[in-house]
Amino acid sequence: MLNKSVILRSILDMEVVCAVRRDSSDQLLRIVEAIRRGGIQCIEIAMTTPLALQAIEEATGKLDGVVMGAGTVLDGTTARQAILAGASLIVTPTVELDVIEMAHRYGKVVISGAMTPTEILTAWEAGADMVKIFPASLLGPSYLKAIQGPLPQIPLVPTGGITADNASEFIQAGAAMVCVGGWLVDKKAVVEGRYEALTKRAHQLVEAVRKAREGMVS
């Protein structure tokens, strides 16, 4: 079993996490596999998805090299269940102190959701490894950049409305990584069984982030 520091470093190196939220548990593993083929190795399944724990356990057992996470975790009990199912990453939409505590207890990475500077700092001081800025689509890259001014020590993960077209803007604004959901897991493509469309979008996203990083270095 990898220790927490290795998992955290691995997640940061990946720079992209995919959030899968579905109304049904059908084809969850195929969705995860399609996203993985596109180059995204960190995938969280929202706990609002039916049989999410089962899907996490199945994916963890079958897909080597993929960091599986649980998203929309609202309490410590759910965090523990997800960890026992195999989740190495716990993600919350809001500041949930008991979730952060539970993740630490089991040596797992936790990304806490927040919006305001006070929430962001509260999550960080409570022990969040990264802080998810949500909803990024409303706040925009300029908000992320502004937060980096007084709080440069906190790794920020914009979430909500991220696509291959705007991911580079958030990276350039200082994001540690980006979290992408609805745009990547296209509902119509899944219904029609076109999983290659998910693979293509995953690849486009990875390339957009890579080019943004290269542009910042050059």
CB 106, CB 83: distance < 8 Å: yes
The domain locations on the chain are: 4-217
Quick one: pLDDT at residue 36? 95
Q: In percent, how much of the chain has pLDDT > 90?
A: 92
For residue 205, what are its two tokens? Answer: 């996203």
Residue 18 to residue 40: CA distance in whole angstroms: 7
Catalytic residue positions, numbered: 44, 132
Task: Give pLDDT < 70 ranges for the chain.
Answer: 1-2, 217-218
How many other β-carbons are positioned within 10 Å of the β-carbon of residue 170?
26
Homologous superfamily of 4-217 in CATH?
A: Aldolase class I (3.20.20.70)
Prior bond of 135 cis (ω within 30°): yes
pLDDT tens sequence across 81-96: 999 999 999 999 999 9
Quick one: pLDDT at residue 201? 97
Quick one: pLDDT at residue 1? 60
How many other β-carbons are positioned within 10 Å of the β-carbon of residue 6?
11
Report pTM.
0.94
Q: 3-state SS of 55-96?
A: HHHHHHHHCCCCEEEEECCCCHHHHHHHHHHCCCEEECCCCC
- Nearest alpha-carbon partner for 43 in 188, 184, 197, 209: 184
